[in-house]
A and B are shown apart, each in its own frame.
Chain A
Amino acid sequence: MRQLGMVIDLNKCIGCQTCTLACKSQWTDRGGREFMYWNHVETKPGKGYPRDWEAAGGGWDNDKLMPGRLPRLAEDYGIPADFNFDTALFQVTDQPLRPLDALQWGPNWEEDQGAGDFPNGYFFYLPRLCNHCTKPACLAACPRQAIYKRETDGIVLVDQERCRGYRYCVAACPYKKVYFNPLAGRSEKCIFCYPRVERGIPQACAYQCVGRARHVAYLDDPEGAVHQLANVWRVALPLHPEYGTQPNVYYVPPLSPPTFDASGKPTGTPRIPDDYLRQLFGSGVDAALATLQGEIARKEEGGESALMDLLIAYRHGDMFRLSRPEEGKP
């Protein structure tokens, strides 16, 4: 089986939510999906989206599925509210423009909040989508066997004809990236834009990323950025590897400007604590950050760096390699 993978460079992510809305207008602005964000960007540290997803269970303990919780619509996802445009703007009223239902949460609720104390506060952006895992908990949890992984590209899909909406998959996914469509009565999730990919057009979230943070390639493509960054340079890491699902979306971990000491002098210590990044990306994060810093230093001194050139991505189009190299080809 071939696996299509994605690397998201968290240093290039500016939290603009263009990917979120590219995905929304491509797939989730209709038909009961309005509340879903197959792709979203959350600010870390934070409870994220859906709220407290990291504490909602799911995933694997070795070969045993872990129990998981279903997120709630208003409290954990957030209502896709309409607004009182008519009354607030075209009638005699003293009411301001407001959501018709008060919002309790949303996909970007904690925007730019993060943690720490001024002036040493910190935050970064974490774009999230279905990881199209190699060992998908959703797939294993489905009693209908409605979830499958495609041979040609490793994309994990919920068969919309087989699915009966039992939502075991929603609970089983430790990333909480499967959603239940109440209108269709079925579970749905990111489809890695297979209808685009099949036509040679990269995923909306990746192709439309204005920060040029996302690389897409097959993992077995030795020239592809995913293999290069994840396997050769080892600067791209899966999110929460301990969940055991073996994600195929990888992240280049975030650098951050130094903290200040009591006198206001920059310390040289990054403001995002290493411990926190280890919690998210596992123990490989130290080496990844060291490699990034080393290669940046090399460039600062006027040297060359193939890694930096890869992350710079001189041509937007070169960030995506969707053609499938023939097996055995040199």
Chain B
Amino acid sequence: MERREFIKSTAYCGLALAFGGPLASLRAHAAATLPPQPWEDLYRDEFAATLGDAMGYAFHCSNCQGNCAWKVYARDGMVTREEQAAAYPPIGPKIPDANPRGCNKGIVHSKQMVQADRLLYPLKRAGRRGEGKWERVTWDAAIDDIAARVVDSLQGQGLASLMVYCGTGILSQGRRAGPLRLGSLLGAQRLYPASAVGDMFTGASLAYGLATVGHTLDAWFEAKTILLWGINAAVTRIPDAHYLMEARYNGSKVYCITPEYNATAKLASNWVTVKAGTDSFLAMSLLHNLFRDGLIDRDFVREQTDLPFLVRIDTGDLLRHRDLRDQGKDDVFYCWDEASGSAQPMPGTQGHFKKSLRLGKLKPALEGAWEVKGKDGDPIPVTTVFAQARAEALRFPPERTQAVTGVHPELVGRMAKDLAGSDKAIVNIGFSLHKYVSGTMTCWAAALACALTGHAGERGGLDTENNWSLGGIGPLSSPKPARFASGFFSEWMNGGMEQTMRRHYSDAHLKEAVGLDHREIGELAEHYAETSDAWFGKPRALLLFADNMLQRNKSEAHYRRAFIEDLDLFVDVNHRMDSTALWADYLLPAKSQYESWDIRGELGYHRFCNITVPPKGLKPVGETKSEWEICLLLAQAIAREALRRGIAAIPDPDFLETKDDKAAPVMRDLVNLAEDFTDHNKLTNDEDVVRWLMEKVPAIAPWTPEDAMRHGYVTLNRQAGFTSPLYANRPFYSFEHNVYLRQPYATLSGRQQFYVDHPLFKQLACMTPTAMTPVRPKSFPLGFWTPHTRHGIHSQWRANAQLLRLQRGEPYVWLNPDAARARGIGEGDPVRVYNDVGEFQARAKLMPAVPPDALVMDHAWEPFQFRDRLGLNNVVAGLLSPLELATGWGHLSFNPNWDGNMLAFESAVEVEKCKEMTA
């Protein structure tokens, strides 16, 4: 039915229909026995039709950590409906099972896959970039032209000029393998996605040498105390959120720490109303109480943390072997041994010959001041990390920090007591915290709170997000070395974001809030670019897969201009037209969630590895192809072009390999690119890739693709755990290898690390966890932050019609009713949000849940949903967190566990009523 016709035919719904009384004689409410009703087959037939004639399995592979097994039904080659498989087995009688996993996004994909924003055919830009003029071209024409221009770039601008980046739209091991493998063979640049989107947990990295630690989320059910810090689990962890209320029914205390009242605060025992960006003060007050009241598991911290390590009082450095001996080691550290009354090296540090945390006869002191004899005979005054951390924490009594955080000391006291008094306690750090400069410190302090109270292993502890160690994938995704670039730093540099930082934060303000002014941050960035192991350089040719970089980057329009102006070639491989695809030179239409084989198992919220197997006979949507097939076509075309130009291979001296006992540059073999890509015809399509992974990944054994195809998932084995075994019958907890087997942690100290004497940490007085003030400037009155939405996985599904009907059809900001009234803004009014970085327009939604000094918006609306296509990131200044630029110190050097964050929540705005947009 036509929409117009529909509205017309329902217009008379508006008439009021009133009864003067019963119309007809009242029938008995208790039903009389009725004969069978043949008409009822109407709905029975409809149900049968949705079940279709074929069924497959799928998960929804985007930057969602849910990883849920679904059944996908199809009829006549068209998907009819999806429903959660709801078939995961229970792990034990007293742990609620994981069914039915799957949310409001997954359930609309059958509509999304055929929605009118779907890319159906290869398109070539026919006007200016972003103008909206497209020409339909054949796959052959598109691939050949792209390949020629890629070879141009490699030949003319060098290997590093090419970026092949698969963004967070595809994080599964199957579909992601294509772009990773192609980029790796070509030596292309690649960003660390978690850093590019600002999802690094640098506080956890400081403490553990690992960014993602934690539990399967069924562990919530067993915990007696749960702190949800900057995580709105009822919105962002929909499939696992049930464990939270079930935990409360099981006697757990749940604290939800967040500046706005939200769906998670609603189910908590207590909402801890922290003022935005002041979390590190709250964390320090929590530590204050633990230290003050002696709520400390002394045996645990002596063995498992660096708190007994000695610190030089004169320099503030950790006492090292080199301080005591000529040519001493840099990575051997000391405690004050109460047994011998002397400084003794601690086993298990990176430089110690003993690779165990067992203390043997050592009795490390936690507090005190002593002198040790230096290598030149002079006494060195020392104390302990414990004493330093304690002194720092005691500066932040909750009675004093309440003025900053808004959190009453009573609540701080309850949290400290519950944390210390619970056998199992879990502190979840959400993705919001590291969107502030202080996030690193908040998370580090929370890790210290867990350490002081002995929460690790089965006793719980910090949870950033657990990831599994699948292993064995390297030969598939990284057959040759690639150019790894820092996510946050590359985006900042490529987008020229220093300019918006300068505009939004005054020198004096930055100096006061961060400790460095513009010049010093600039110098630090330069130093980082020179000394870090990360790759830098603006790309000239970009093959972009499933990444909405022109939506997610801060200082949106500014970033876009700076980034794409130098691109000679911009190819976007995507299943839909997103805000980034709009600006591409070529659009290559990809298959989406149900159409390609895929497998995903690295997400550690549960233990199941899901598989996508399209329903039999599924018809292709338009001319879409799988990412693997697209990469293979590109590899073949690049090989043909190279052969035509007589370039067999390009040497890549940035990477060396050993050939005949000699170091030789890695060769980027162009003419054999297709053979290398398919590993000599062993990997020709998406199904081959999934089968390869199931065979080669040790954590999947002994399951086969056939097992997975029967159920939609397989269960990972005990090898899947990084820092603990994954036991079959209980929730997963991190660090059992360390706590029970006394294996060293992946840190310089070999322990949970709470003292860092990197010069930058010393300069900024952050050697131990401490508080950092919000960086948000005072020049605009409202704080601006953008928590995750329940109606999208970032920008995925943000433009879905089904979900937009469950919102208001277009972007809106959340305003406190008082803040709105003071500005003459009413419910639903069009408003203009602005600052010195940029502006955007949206509608106002009045929310008592939001503090009066804030403008909040659920994130990742597409810029094309706003007037003039100016999205919400236009008002977010580029900002770096200096600490995240530290490099060359122990476990702090560029790697997947040490990269920084794009800071999203440190900007300030004003809002005013504006004119209605006319169509």
A: residues with CB less than 8 A from B are: 1, 9, 11-12, 14-18, 20-22, 24-27, 29, 32, 34-35, 57, 63-75, 78-83, 85-86, 88-103, 106-109, 111-119, 121-125, 134-136, 139-141, 143, 145, 148-151, 157, 159-162, 167-168, 170-172, 180, 182-183, 191, 193-196, 198, 204, 207-213, 254, 256-258, 260, 263-266, 296, 298-302, 308, 311-317
Q: B134 touching A90 by the CB < 8 A rule?
A: yes
Of A21, A108, A256, most B-chain CB atoms within 10 Å: A21
The secondary-structure label for the interface of chain A is loop
Q: B43 touching A194 by the CB < 8 A rule?
A: yes
What is the CA–CA distance of A115 and B847 in the complex, to the nearest angstrom?
A: 8
Given contacts A25-B107, A194-B40, A312-B250, 13 further A-B contacts (CB under 8 A): A21-B108, A101-B7, A112-B262, A113-B848, A123-B266, A149-B29, A191-B43, A204-B83, A210-B103, A257-B265, A263-B408, A299-B251, A301-B251
CB contacts (< 8 Å) of B246 on chain A: these are: 12, 212, 311-313
B368 contacts A by Cβ under 8 Å: no
CB 8 Å contact bits of B801-839 with A (1 = contact, 0 = none): 110111111100000111000000000000000000000
Q: A208 touching B273 by the CB < 8 A rule?
A: no
Least CB distance, B391 to chain A, in whole angstroms: 27
CB contacts (< 8 Å) of A117 on chain B: these are: 817-818, 848
4 closest residue pairs by CB, A with B: A121-B848, A299-B251, A85-B116, A195-B47
Q: A96 touching B806 by the CB < 8 A rule?
A: no
What is the CA–CA distance of A21 and B335 in the complex, to the nearest angstrom?
A: 60
Q: A20 touching B806 by the CB < 8 A rule?
A: yes
Q: B251 touching A71 by the CB < 8 A rule?
A: no
B476 contacts A by Cβ under 8 Å: no
CB contacts (< 8 Å) of B110 on chain A: these are: 25
Q: B19 touching A316 by the CB < 8 A rule?
A: no
CB contacts (< 8 Å) of B799 on chain A: these are: 83, 85, 97
Interface residues in B855-870 by Cβ distance below 8 A to A read 862, 864-869
Known: A20-B104, A35-B10, A96-B866. A114 touches B848 (CB 8 A): yes
Q: A94 touching B249 by the CB < 8 A rule?
A: no
Question: Among A17, A141, A182, A196, which residue has its beta carbon within 8 angstroms of that of B19?
Answer: A141
Chain A: which residue is nearest B134 at the CB level? A90
What is the CA–CA distance of A210 and B810 in the complex, to the nearest angstrom?
A: 26
Q: B249 touching A312 by the CB < 8 A rule?
A: yes
What is the CA–CA distance of A111 and B104 in the complex, to the nearest angstrom?
A: 15
Least CB distance, B182 to chain A, in whole angstroms: 27
Of B93, B99, B809, most A-chain CB atoms within 10 Å: B809
CB contacts (< 8 Å) of B97 on chain A: these are: 314-316
Q: A171 touching B808 by the CB < 8 A rule?
A: no
Question: Among B40, B90, B256, B261, which residue has its beta carbon within 8 angstroms of that of A121?
Answer: B261
B96 contacts A by Cβ under 8 Å: yes
Q: A67 touching B10 by the CB < 8 A rule?
A: no
What is the CA–CA distance of A121 and B94 in the complex, to the nearest angstrom?
A: 36
Stretch of B125-133, B560-568, B895-903 at the chain-chain interface = B125-133
What is the CA–CA distance of A21 and B273 in the complex, to the nearest angstrom?
A: 32
Least CB distance, A280 to chain B, in whole angstroms: 16
Interface size class of B (residues with CB under 8 A): 35 or more
Known: A15-B790, A314-B95. A195 touches B10 (CB 8 A): no
Least CB distance, A155 to chain B, in whole angstroms: 10
- Provide 15 A-B residue pairs closer than 8 Å at the C-beta atoms, listed in order of the A residue: A14-B234, A85-B577, A96-B865, A106-B808, A117-B818, A118-B261, A121-B849, A149-B30, A167-B17, A171-B17, A182-B13, A212-B96, A265-B411, A312-B250, A314-B96
Q: B806 touching A25 by the CB < 8 A rule?
A: no
Stretch of B31-39, B322-330, B461-469, B608-616 at the chain-chain interface = B31-39
Chain A: which residue is nearest B846 at the CB level? A113
Q: B17 touching A99 by the CB < 8 A rule?
A: no
B101 contacts A by Cβ under 8 Å: yes
CB contacts (< 8 Å) of A151 on chain B: these are: 31, 33-34
Q: A108 touching B47 by the CB < 8 A rule?
A: no
Q: A96 touching B810 by the CB < 8 A rule?
A: yes
Of A34, A68, A111, A159, most B-chain CB atoms within 10 Å: A111
What is the CA–CA distance of A238 and B11 in the complex, to the nearest angstrom?
A: 33
What is the CA–CA distance of A21 and B81 in the complex, to the nearest angstrom?
A: 11
Q: B29 touching A134 by the CB < 8 A rule?
A: yes
CB contacts (< 8 Å) of A25 on chain B: these are: 50, 81-82, 107-108, 110-111
B9 contacts A by Cβ under 8 Å: yes
Q: B31 touching A148 by the CB < 8 A rule?
A: yes
CB contacts (< 8 Å) of B40 on chain A: these are: 157, 194
What is the CA–CA distance of A186 and B252 in the complex, to the nearest angstrom?
A: 50
Q: A113 touching B847 by the CB < 8 A rule?
A: yes
Q: A91 touching B132 by the CB < 8 A rule?
A: yes
Chain B: which residue is nearest A310 at the CB level? B249
Q: A17 touching B806 by the CB < 8 A rule?
A: yes
Q: B245 touching A11 by the CB < 8 A rule?
A: yes
Q: B13 touching A180 by the CB < 8 A rule?
A: yes
Q: A160 touching B107 by the CB < 8 A rule?
A: no
Q: A14 touching B1 by the CB < 8 A rule?
A: no
Chain A: which residue is nearest B251 at the CB level? A299
Known: A148-B34, A182-B6. A24 touches B22 (CB 8 A): no
Question: Among A27, A115, A266, which residue has its beta carbon within 8 angstroms of that of B411?
Answer: A266
Q: B21 touching A65 by the CB < 8 A rule?
A: yes
CB contacts (< 8 Å) of A210 on chain B: these are: 84, 100-103, 238-239, 241-242
CB contacts (< 8 Å) of A1 on chain B: these are: 30-31
CB 8 Å contact bits of B1-26 with A (1 = contact, 0 = none): 10100110111011111111111101
What is the CA–CA distance of A12 and B97 in the complex, to the nearest angstrom?
A: 15
Q: B13 touching A73 by the CB < 8 A rule?
A: yes
Q: A98 touching B919 by the CB < 8 A rule?
A: yes
Interface residues in B525-543 by Cβ distance below 8 A to A read none
Question: Among B26, B267, B862, which residue has its beta carbon within 8 angstroms of that of A11?
Answer: B267
